[in-house]
């Protein structure tokens, strides 16, 4: 699980949200059998979390989209493409405009390998 990783991106419904970078927080939980890695202590027997983080970073810092649902889906699809990953849960949150009484707008999705 990676919790609280943060990146800047230009995503949102309003034009101003896409013009000025905002902070997005991402949590990713990966479902993978860790038994072999626990026995061998070898990175190649588990998931390299640097790859998982890179997928989230490239998605958030990449192409502008309207919905945080789209960001979460793209991150989930990228993580599911990694070997050994059976399922993934992704949470993407962003802080609304400074005048908003809401602490964060977020989505939480889970996807499994087909």
Q: Indicate which residue of 25, 57, 84, 94 is catalytic.
A: 94
Structure tokens at 44: 């190649």
Of 78, 69, 62, 102, nearest in space to 30 by CA: 78
Q: Is 94 in the active site? A: yes
Give CA–CA dist 56/98, Å, rounded: 24
> Given phi > 0 = left and psi -120 to 50 = alpha, else beta, which region is 65?
beta
Residues with a known catalytic role: 94
């Amino acid at each position: 699980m990676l919790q609280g990783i943060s990146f800047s991106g230009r995503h949102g419904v309003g034009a101003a949200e896409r013009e000025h970078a905002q902070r997005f927080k991402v949590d990713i939980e990966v479902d993978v059998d860790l038994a072999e890695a626990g026995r061998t202590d070898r990175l190649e027997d588990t998931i390299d979390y640097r790859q998982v983080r890179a997928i989230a970073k490239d998605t958030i810092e990449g192409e502008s989209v309207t919905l945080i649902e789209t960001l979460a889906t793209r991150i989930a699809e990228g993580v599911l493409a990694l070997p050994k990953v059976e399922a993934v849960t992704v949470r993407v949150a962003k802080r609304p405009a400074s005048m908003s009484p809401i602490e964060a707008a977020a989505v939480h999705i889970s996807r499994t390998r087909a």
